[in-house]
Amino acid sequence: MNWLVVALGAWAFGWWINTRLARSSLARTRGGKLAVPVIFGLTVLLLWEGLVRGLNVSPVILPPPSDVVARLASSVPTLWEDFVQTAVKGALSGYFIGCAAAFATAILIDRSPFLQRGLLPVGNFVAALPIVGIAPIMVMWFGFDWQSKAAVVVVMVFFPMLVNTVAGLKASDHMQRDLMATWSASYWQSLFKLRLPAAMPFVFNGLKIASTLALIGAIVAEFFGSPTRGMGFRINASIGQLALDMIWAEIVVAAIAGSAFYGIVAMIEKRVTFWHPSQRT
Amino acid sequence: MSGGAMKHVLPVLTVVAAIIALWYAAAVGLNRAWVYDQAERAGVAPASGMALIAETWSQERPVLPAPHQVAVELVKTTFGMAPSSKRSLVYHGWVTLSATLLGFAIGTGLGILLAVGILHNRAMDMSVMPWAIASQTIPILAIAPMIIVVLNSVGLQGLVPKAIISAYLSFFPVVVGMVKGLRSPDQMQLDLLKTYNASNTEAFWKLRLPASMPYLFTSLKVGMAASLVGAIVGELPTGAVAGLGARLLSGSYYGQTVQIWAALFAAAIVAAGMVMLIGVMERRTLKRMGMAR
């Protein structure tokens, strides 16, 4: 009963602080903008902990966050092994191959409006499909290990990346291209000096979309068969043992990996496209 | 107009034809080994030329089924069986689609409600929005199996758990898109309404909500695709019971490649159909509101 009171009290207190913070002049400072969501996150965690303990929720339904943290701390080697298997070997290698292939394809079809008009609708169509469904086929073709996961990721990231790059290559406007022509720039010169830099915001948009797809693809593909390591495998195996704290620990790792991956891409974007209006502050 | 349409149809058809041709060629390459293997076991010379090609396109469990095999399976399991039969794709497709639609409706409804809350409450905006945006970079789909199993242990089975996953996946895109849309009217327009002495509620119904429609439909398309993926993945952990995900899983258990491809295409057709349906609704709505581009 005490836990319930603590939980609801923490919730009320957190909400009160946030309301005050949001109304105060602090809300416009950087610290205030950071503090409010952090306080909100902490109150959610406290509420969760308190409700689970106060209502005696069984740990096979919802483990309290403290259990998850304890599990996270006690099984670092396992989690690291899973992370390397799924995120580094499966997702990252597939991400690089898929994005590079899509980028190369976009440059290849750049000179042919016919191919562009043909490939773009097909690419847009495929990008909206539930592509994770090819996972069982890839597992059959490339075996249980990370190669099949990378293959799923390649297919998943290819079309969003292709569509964005092709759109990006059209981003430079006519005046700019005419200017390059008056300097008698060759196709490749104008590509490297004008059109590719102008395409970068679009390319990075594609890279960001692909970064979230990559991890999803690698994890879901493991549900269809994997060696005895990997995040998807661990989630599936822990369900059988009803070890929910382990699953939540994997989810925490996946969340950190996903946001870090996205964050790194966004950081590179900031460096590369510093000139774009959306990056100026 | 017809010339303009031809300008787009011809390239698309060419690309599709090229994909199918590549597919047939790949089928020959990938399935050849099995033909050689069989011939060696039977102790006869392996088929060559046209006979070899014909054999690679008509195996029962090919590495890569030829397009026509998938098409035949798709038609057979869609139209050739009673919709209530467990082997009918209509049955499995409906199991998945109903969970998708229920989850999509819940997720969209809650998403719009939260967006309205975020619009009117600054504390909520500052607390929830960063998390809603951050959550899009997280592979949420990974928790799908857990939700299924946990709800199963509480006694919930079948449609509802899958719908919850679908709702969860379609929720965040709608929140983010809708907040953007509700904030899209610029200060001039808001000021104009103020000079008309319009209340906040009136401004919401007459300006913000209509202005948010293009954003809403864009998020709906994203959310629908995510919902369907959620429902399919939600069918995996319970074992192959029913639904398109179950067809994929049982196909991979028993090496029924043709069945996998047929289920995959069924899922693609359902997804494309739903997204197109939203597209039609979008065009109609925007046209009636005079916002068509």
Q: Could you write out the three-class secondary structure of chain B? A: CHHHHHHHHHHHHHHHHHHHHHHHHHHHHHHHHHHHHHHHHHCCCCCCHHHHHHHHCCCCCCCCCCHHHHHHHHHHHHHCCCCCCCCCHHHHHHHHHHHHHHHHHHHHHHHHHHHHHHHHCHHHHHHHHHHHHHHHHCCHHHHHHHHHHHHHHHCCCCHHHHHHHHHHHHHHHHHHHHHHHHCCCCHHHHHHHHHCCCCHHHHHHHHHHHHHHHHHHHHHHHHHHHHHHHHHHHCCCCCCCCCHHHHHHHHHHHCCHHHHHHHHHHHHHHHHHHHHHHHHHHHHHHHHCCCCC
Contact flag A216-B154 (C-beta cutoff 8 Å): no
Q: Is the pLDDT confidence value at A161 over 60?
A: yes
- Contact call for A117 and B8, based on CB within 8 A: yes
Contacts of A19 in chain B (CB under 8 A): 123
pLDDT tens for A175-193 read 888 899 899 988 888 888 8
Cβ neighbours, 10 Å, residue B17: 11
What's the per-residue H, E or C state across chain A?
Answer: CHHHHHHHHHHHHHHHHHHHHHHCHHHHCHHHHHHHHHHHHHHHHHHHHHHHHHCCCCCCCCCCHHHHHHHHHHCHHHHHHHHHHHHHHHHHHHHHHHHHHHHHHHHHHHHCHHHHHHHHHHHHHHHCCCHHHHHHHHHHHHCCCHHHHHHHHHHHHHHHHHHHHHHHHCCCCHHHHHHHHHCCCCHHHHHHHHHHHHHHHHHHHHHHHHHHHHHHHHHHHHCCCCCCCCHHHHHHHHHHCCCHHHHHHHHHHHHHHHHHHHHHHHHHHHHHCCCCHHHCC
Mean pLDDT over the full length of chain A: 85
Q: Is B114 left (phi over 0), alpha (psi -120 to 50) or beta?
A: alpha
Of A28 and A213, the structure prediction assigns the larger pLDDT to A213
CA B173 to chain centre: 14
Q: Where are the domains of chain A?
A: 2-57, 72-279
Amino acid B110: pLDDT? 93
Q: Could you tell me which of B234, B118, B238, B107 has the C-alpha nearest to residue B169?
A: B107
Q: Each residue of B229-268: pLDDT tens digit?
A: 888 888 877 765 788 888 888 887 787 888 888 888 888 8
* A281 — pLDDT class (breaks 50, 70, 90): low
Residue with tokens 């199991």: B95
Which one of A115, A219, A232 has the shortest CB-CB distance to B11?
A115
CA atoms within 13 A on the CB side of A51: 10
Average pLDDT over residues A162-168: 88
Output the CA–CA distances (angstroms, integers) from residue B54 to A10, A103, B19, B68, in the order listed.
71, 36, 19, 12
| pLDDT of A112 higher than 90 | no
Indicate the residue type of A109.
Answer: I
pLDDT at B292: 62
Token pair 């594609």 in the structure block, residue: A206
Q: pLDDT band for A97, please (50, 70, 90 cuts).
A: very high
Contact A258, B139 (CB under 8 A): yes
Nearest-neighbour CA in chain B from A186: distance (Å): 27
Tell me if A49 sits within 8 A of A65, measured CB to CB. Answer: yes
Q: Tell me the angle at which helices A135-142 and A146-169 cross, rounded to the nearest 10 degrees.
A: 120
Interface predicted TM-score (ipTM) = 0.78
A136 contact B CB<8A: yes
Residue B180: per-residue pLDDT: 86
Sign of CA dihedral B195, B196, B202, B208: negative
Contact state of A60 with B7 under an 8 Å Cβ cutoff: no
Can you give the pLDDT at residue B2? 45
Burial code (b: 16+ CB inside 10 Å, e: under 16) for A110-138 equals beeeebbbbbbbbbebbbbbbbbbbbbbb
Hey, which residues 105-134 in chain A have their CB within 8 Å of chain B? 114-119, 121-122, 125, 128-130, 132-134
Return the pLDDT at B1.
38
Neighbour-count burial of B262, counting CB atoms closer than 10 A to its CB (0-12 exposed, 13-18 middle, 19+ buried): buried
- Chain B, residues 57-116, CB within 8 A of chain A, namely 63
Indicate the class that CATH gives domain A72-279: mainly alpha
Residue that the structure tokens 């950087």 belong to: A30
Q: B89-288 has which CATH code?
A: 1.10.3720.10
Between chains, do B268 and A129 touch, taking CB under 8 Å as contact? yes
Per-residue confidence (pLDDT) for residue A131, from 0 to 100: 81
Chain-chain contact of B142 with A232 (C-beta, under 8 angstroms): yes
How sure is the predictor about A154, in pLDDT bands with cuts at 50, 70 and 90?
A: very high
Average pLDDT (A132-136) is: 83
CA of A84 to nearest chain B CA: how many angstroms apart?
16
Q: What is the pLDDT of residues A33-63, one digit of tens each?
A: 788 888 888 888 888 888 888 888 888 778 8
Residue with tokens 């689609």: B97
Q: Which of residues 233-252 of A touch B (CB under 8 A)?
A: 235-236, 239, 242, 244, 247, 250-251
Which candidate from B63, B143, B272 shows the least CB-CB separation from A128?
B272
Residues of chain B with pLDDT under 50: 1-2
Q: Which residues of A166-185 are buried (b: 16+ CB within 10 A; e: fewer)?
A: bbbbeebeeeeeeebeeeeb
pLDDT at B4: 57
Interval A244-267: pLDDT, tens: 888 888 888 888 888 889 889 989
pLDDT at site B145: 80
* Neighbouring residues of B1: CB distance < 8 A, sequence distance ≥ 6: none
Confirm or reject contact between A66 and chain B (CB < 8 A). Answer: no
How far is A117 from chain B, CA to nearest CA, in Å?
A: 6
Kindly report, residue by residue over B170-207, the tens digit of the pLDDT. 888 898 889 888 888 888 888 998 899 988 888 888 88
Q: What is the C-alpha radius of gyration for chain A, rounded to an integer number of angstroms?
A: 24
Has residue A111 got a pLDDT over 90? no
Residues of B in contact with A135 (CB under 8 A): 248
CA distance B172 to B130: 11
Provide, rounded to the nearest whole percent, the portion of chain A with pLDDT above 90: 9
Greatest CA separation for chain A: 80
Among B94, B86, B111, residue whose Cα is nearest residue B173? B111
pLDDT at residue A101 in the model: 94
Contact A190, A177 (CB under 8 A): yes
Q: A6-25 burial string, b = 16+ CB within 10 Å, else e?
A: bbeebbeebbebbbebbeee
Token pair listed for B285:
């709505």
Closest CA to A74 of A243, A261, A255: A243
Q: What is the pLDDT of residue B239?
A: 64
Residue B31: its pLDDT value, please? 80
The answer, yes or no, to whether residue A91 has pLDDT greater than 50, is: yes
What CA–CA distance (Å, rounded) separates B242 from B246?
5
